[in-house]
């Protein structure tokens, strides 16, 4: 048996008195596609943010590829990772946010080549070749020189996906990437994600309110409630016959 690529054990994250992740355990296998659903405020974004090391955890362990993201000191106190360790760890993980977060003063192509040049030290030519290929893959080969303000929300989000992929991550995290989009723009972004998920060498965690897409896309669905996974299973299990009352109530409210 191989060990999971991503492993959360007893992970707790608090904001002041508020416990947002509550002693959370989660294993994600290599190449697995996991959908994360649940009510607003249940800790879904925080789960992705701690994995991306954008937030420090208060307790527990997160490992990626067997490497812990945080360390205990001799007294058993959790020591946050150094900035250089975080930068290094993030290379392996691409994240796409609800609000695109593109660099506004850079064209689509410049957005896609910035990180590989700076962080991976690729030459301009190598980074450009990769960027052009990825923007073509997301259907934007005619928009290379457009600035974000000249692109629709769906196009901006596809640039954001290409930019994240430019680092050749093993893991892609998607946090409600279609929530800010009109329905027709939404489907162009979901089509890109669908195409990506057919590539088997990507592990994907996706927080989404698109239940139809989650059902089709996910190998496994985790239902979040109050900082915990209240129920998880295959999409058949969760959407077909949810066991917990809270999952049932949530699904009947959103579907
Ligand atoms: P979800 O993505 O499931 O809607 P989040 O992970 O964004 O939930 O947030 C979980 C809880 O943590 C919410 O109650 C939210 O208000 C709170 N929270 C998130 N980020 C912060 C922060 N930086 N400071 C204080 N509270 C926060
Ligand atoms: Mg969220």
Residue 40 Cβ inside 6 Å of ligand 1? The answer reads yes
Q: How far apart are CA 196 and CA 117, in angstroms?
A: 23
Q: Which residue has the higher pLDDT, 79 or 29?
A: 29
Binned at pLDDT 50, 70 and 90, residue 181 comes out as very high
Calculate mean pLDDT across residues 248-255: 91
Residue 203 Cβ inside 6 Å of ligand 1? The answer reads no
Q: How far apart are CA 181 and CA 162, in angstroms?
A: 18
Determine the pLDDT at residue 255. 78
Alpha-helical runs (H) found in 139-244: 153-165, 183-198, 211-217, 235
Calculate the alpha carbon distances from 108 to 90, 94, 144, 245, 249 in Å: 21, 17, 5, 45, 42
Q: Note the pTM of the prediction, 2 decimals.
A: 0.94
Determine the pLDDT at residue 1. 59
- CA neighbor of 158 nearest in space, from 139, 175, 173: 139
Ligand number, closest to the Cα atom of 37: 1
ipTM surpassing 0.90, yes or no?
Answer: yes
The torsion angles phi and psi of 179, rounded to 5 degrees, stand at: -65, -25
Residue 179 Cβ inside 6 Å of ligand 1? The answer reads no
Q: How far apart are CA 166 and CA 116, in angstroms?
A: 7
**pLDDT tens digits, residue range 75-132?**
777 777 777 777 777 888 999 999 989 999 999 999 999 999 998 889 999 999 999 9
Determine the pLDDT at residue 186. 92
Least confident among 30-34, 81-85, 187-191: 81-85
């Amino acid at each position: 048996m191989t060990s999971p690529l991503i492993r959360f054990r007893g992970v707790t994250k608090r904001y002041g008195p508020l416990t947002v992740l509550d002693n959370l355990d989660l294993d994600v296998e290599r190449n697995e596609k996991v959908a994360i659903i649940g009510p607003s405020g249940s800790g879904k974004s925080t789960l992705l943010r701690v994995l991306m090391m954008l937030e420090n955890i208060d307790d527990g362990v997160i490992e990626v590829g067997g490497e812990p993201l945080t360390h205990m000191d001799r007294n058993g106190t959790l020591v946050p990772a150094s900035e250089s360790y975080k930068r290094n760890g993030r290379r392996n993980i691409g994240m796409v946010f609800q609000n695109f977060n593109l660099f506004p003063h850079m064209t689509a192509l410049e957005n896609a080549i910035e990180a590989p040049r700076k962080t991976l030290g690729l030459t301009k030519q190598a980074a450009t070749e990769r960027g052009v290929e990825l923007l073509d893959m997301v259907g934007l080969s005619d928009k290379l020189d457009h600035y974000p303000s000249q692109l629709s929300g769906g196009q901006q989000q596809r640039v954001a996906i290409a930019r994240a992929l430019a680092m050749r991550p093993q893991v892609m995290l998607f946090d409600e990437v279609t929530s800010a989009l009109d329905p027709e723009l939404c489907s162009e972004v979901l089509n890109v994600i669908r195409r990506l998920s057919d590539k088997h060498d990507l592990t994907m965690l996706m927080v989404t309110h698109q239940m139809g897409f989650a059902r089709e896309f996910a190998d496994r669905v985790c239902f979040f409630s109050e900082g915990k996974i209240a129920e998880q299973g295959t999409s058949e299990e969760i959407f077909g016959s949810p066991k917990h009352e809270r999952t049932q109530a949530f699904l009947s409210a959103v579907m």
